[in-house]
Amino acid sequence: MNARPETRPMGIVLDMSFEDYHAVDAFSASGMKHLARSPWHWRNRVEMKQTRAMLCGSLVHCAQLEPHALAERYVIVPEDAPRRPSVSQWKAKNPSADSQAAMDWWRMFEASNTKRAIVPADDYATTQKQLQAIKDCAELAEAFSTGHSEVSMFWVDPETGVYCKARPDHIRRKADGRVQMLDLKSMADDTPAGVQRALGRLGLYRQEAHYRRGYQVITGQPVDDFVFAVVSSVPPILATPYRLVDDALQQGLEEVADLLREFAQCQRSGVWPAYAPDQRLIDLPAWCKTVGEVEVEFEQ
């Protein structure tokens, strides 16, 4: 990318802050989602505005993987806090005394927590239930009990020379010496069908492939077991380990290799094209098409 090779971190780095990791300009799983759409979309990607669901997902990540950083990054709204005023209340020319008191409270609360994300009490209660669900799942509880969380990895792809990075949620070496990697996901639909849709829609199968490739390049050892630790984000809350089938992983590995080659070509040429001409001729989706009817003429 743009950084000089001597300034680039390499290998496995523990205890690297997310801000420092994010600042490293490298090919990543999150960038891959844009590249899979088109090189133009990768080149012109923008930061997504954090939604409440994204905030809750980040919260359970921090609580499970970096509990020591929870108080530094988040502040929980006290249960006895006044209800947050509505937009109309904030804009009212003559708010009621109760509304004015609530607005004053929220102004002070937000002003004193500018460096922390504000989390509603009910969202924090959900996070506590998610943590308990992970503890109640014997397999996941054991997996998270040893190893390292929020591991930063940096390497150069041997085929294309592209500088890459990844940040697995958790890596541990099992008692038998096998390497296990976990990716914690908070999902509203944690059913097998829901997780299956998320794997395709979010490109999680490519993410797994990218993480596996990176670890093997850096260490010379394969990741023997990759687990998506899926925890419900809405009640009833359950934690479930999911694993990709071999065919899906192989597809991910092939797609990542193709995307790396495409990315390297764009770097060399300086050309970052959008949709190819053959992608602009559009057919109807299968569900929209009518079934052709054959007319049969009978002789009288």
Note the pLDDT tens digit of each residue in 169-197.
Answer: 999 998 898 999 999 999 999 999 999 99
d(CA 51, CA 7): 34
pLDDT for 54 equals 81
Cα angle: 160, vertex 161, 167; to 5 degrees:
100
pLDDT for 292 equals 60
Question: What's the pLDDT tens digit per position in 15-28?
Answer: 999 889 999 999 99
The CA radius of gyration of the chain, in Å to the nearest whole number, is 24
pLDDT for 300 equals 55
Tell me what the pLDDT averaged over the chain comes to. 90
Give residue 289's pLDDT band: very low, low, confident or very high (50, 70, 90). confident
pLDDT for 160 equals 97
Phi first, then psi, for residue 59 (nearest 5°) are -65, -45
Nearest Cα to Cα of residue 267 among 116, 157, 114:
157
pLDDT for 279 equals 67
pLDDT for 4 equals 44
pLDDT for 3 equals 40
- Comparing 78-82, 171-175, 254-258, 275-279, which segment has the lowest mean pLDDT? 275-279
d(CA 43, CA 40): 5
Nearest Cα to Cα of residue 119 among 53, 48, 56, 68:
56
Question: What's the pLDDT tens digit per position in 95-107?
Answer: 899 889 999 999 9
More confident residue, 275 or 235: 235
Question: What's the pLDDT tens digit per position in 257-273?
Answer: 999 999 999 999 999 99
Rounded to an integer, the average pLDDT of 199-227 is 96
Question: What's the pLDDT tens digit per position in 20-75?
Answer: 999 999 999 999 999 999 999 999 988 777 788 888 889 999 999 999 999 899 99
- Look up the CATH number of domain 139-267: 3.90.320.10
pLDDT for 195 equals 95
